[in-house]
């Protein structure tokens, strides 16, 4: 009976311990903080496996060992050159001092809130201290693409970045990390995810971009019209030169042809006295046909050659 009673007592004690939560397991991705009446007791438990705690008195609080993320809300803020932009940032962090973290923040929700306050403040400070080009360009070696036409237009050229967004992110990280370290948080990295213009100025920016592109297009049109005028001028000049040379050549050919015809006629009609007289007679008849008509009145002197032939024809 005594043995059975001892066994029964041990079983009851074991059941009480199990039901009271005396045993708990720690995962390799967790750190456990034991609290007694709300206060941490002992050192944080980081070794994975089965562990023991005082039942009914101590509570298990589990903290994440792995790298955690913080994704901040998109926030509107001004740059140094008074351009309002919307900055969207994110960060990666982990718990550096579990006990300090638990005492000051208690849970991840409180940690996210503090991250938003501290990182958001440092982001606003960094953006407000730099011009827009520093936020847009990733680093100072990155330059904007060359515009098709900038000379002679009013298009606004972006200034060269002196530091760049990567340097701003390093400034934010170095400024926020010490403040979060006092809360038991190790800030690993901070990045700017997106940069957008304020909605109120987007329309004006688009209008300015359209105006600049219209100026560039108008300059292209003007240059094209000027080049077309020069081409048409050269075409007219070349055409007139070709026509002039062609007319000159035609007249030369006609002159050569007339000279050759005259030479042939001269050779044909200069072979004898009768041929010359016959040639003169034919030319006189041609003259009559071209000069005299049915209603033509002609006054001729008696010594005129035309009068001589008419007189002979009576």
- Structure confidence at residue 232 as a pLDDT band (50, 70, 90): very high
* Closest by CA position to 215, among listed 151, 144, 157: 151
Domain ranges of the chain: 2-64, 68-197, 247-312
% pLDDT > 70, the chain: 84
- In the structure encoding, which two tokens stand for residue 301, read together? 């002197």
Sequence-ordered list of residues with C-beta below 8 angstroms from that of 37, at least 6 positions apart, any chain: 57
What is the separation of C-alpha 239 from the centre of its chain, rounded to a whole number of angstroms? 46
CATH of 68-197, one of 3.40.50.2300, 3.50.50.60, 3.40.109.10, 3.30.479.30: 3.30.479.30
**DSSP-assigned letter for residue 21:** T
Mean pLDDT of 62-76: 93
Q: What is the pLDDT of residue 137?
A: 83
Nearest-angstrom CA–CA distance, 48 and 160: 53
Look up the pTM and report it. 0.60
Mean pLDDT of 222-239: 93
Mean pLDDT of 117-129: 94
Sequence-ordered list of residues with C-beta below 8 angstroms from that of 85, at least 6 positions apart, any chain: 76, 77, 78, 79, 127, 132, 135, 195, 196, 197, 198
- In the structure encoding, which two tokens stand for residue 253, read together? 């050919």
What is the per-residue pLDDT across 80-117, written as a single tens digit (0 to 9) for each?
888 889 999 999 999 999 999 999 998 899 999 999 99
Whether pLDDT at 305 is above 60: yes
What is the per-residue pLDDT across 152-211, written as a single tens digit (0 to 9) for each?
544 455 567 788 889 999 999 999 999 999 999 999 999 999 998 877 777 777 888 899
What is the per-residue pLDDT across 15-55, written as a single tens digit (0 to 9) for each?
655 555 678 889 999 999 999 888 888 899 999 988 888 87
Q: What is the pLDDT of residue 98?
A: 93
Mean pLDDT of 70-88: 90
Sign of the Cα pseudo-torsion (13, 17, 19, 25, in order): negative
Pair 190, 172: CB distance under 8 Å:
yes
Look at 100 and 283; give whichever has higher pLDDT: 100
Whether pLDDT at 144 is above 60: no
């Amino acid at each position: 009976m005594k043995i059975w009673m001892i066994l029964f007592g041990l079983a009851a004690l074991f059941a009480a311990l199990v039901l009271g939560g005396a045993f708990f397991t720690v995962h390799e991705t967790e750190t456990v903080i034991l609290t007694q009446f709300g206060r941490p007791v002992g050192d944080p438990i980081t070794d994975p496996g089965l562990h023991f705690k005082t039942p009914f008195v101590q509570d298990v609080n589990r903290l994440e060992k792995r790298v955690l993320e913080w994704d901040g809300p998109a926030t509107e803020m001004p740059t140094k050159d008074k351009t309002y932009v919307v900055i969207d940032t994110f960060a990666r962090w982990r718990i550096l001092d579990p006990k300090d973290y638990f005492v000051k923040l208690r849970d991840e929700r409180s940690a996210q809130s503090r991250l938003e306050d501290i990182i958001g403040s440092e982001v606003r400070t960094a953006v407000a201290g730099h011009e827009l080009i520093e936020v847009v360009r990733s680093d100072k070696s990155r330059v904007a693409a060359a515009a098709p036409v900038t000379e002679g237009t009013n298009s606004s050229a972006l200034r060269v970045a002196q530091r760049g967004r990567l340097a701003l992110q390093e400034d934010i990280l170095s400024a926020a990390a010490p403040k979060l370290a006092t809360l038991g948080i190790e800030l690993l990295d901070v990045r700017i995810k997106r940069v957008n213009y304020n909605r109120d100025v987007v329309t004006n920016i688009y209008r300015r971009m359209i105006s600049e592109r219209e100026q560039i297009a108008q300059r292209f049109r003007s240059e094209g019209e000027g080049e077309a005028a020069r081409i048409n001028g050269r075409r007219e000049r070349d055409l007139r030169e070709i026509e002039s040379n062609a007319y000159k050549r035609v007249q030369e050919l006609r002159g050569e042809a007339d000279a050759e015809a005259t030479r042939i006629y001269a050779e044909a009609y200069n072979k004898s006295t009768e041929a010359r007289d016959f040639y003169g007679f034919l030319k006189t008849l041609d003259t009559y046909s071209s000069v005299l008509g049915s209603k033509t009145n002609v006054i001729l002197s008696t010594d005129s050659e035309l009068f001589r032939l008419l007189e002979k024809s009576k």
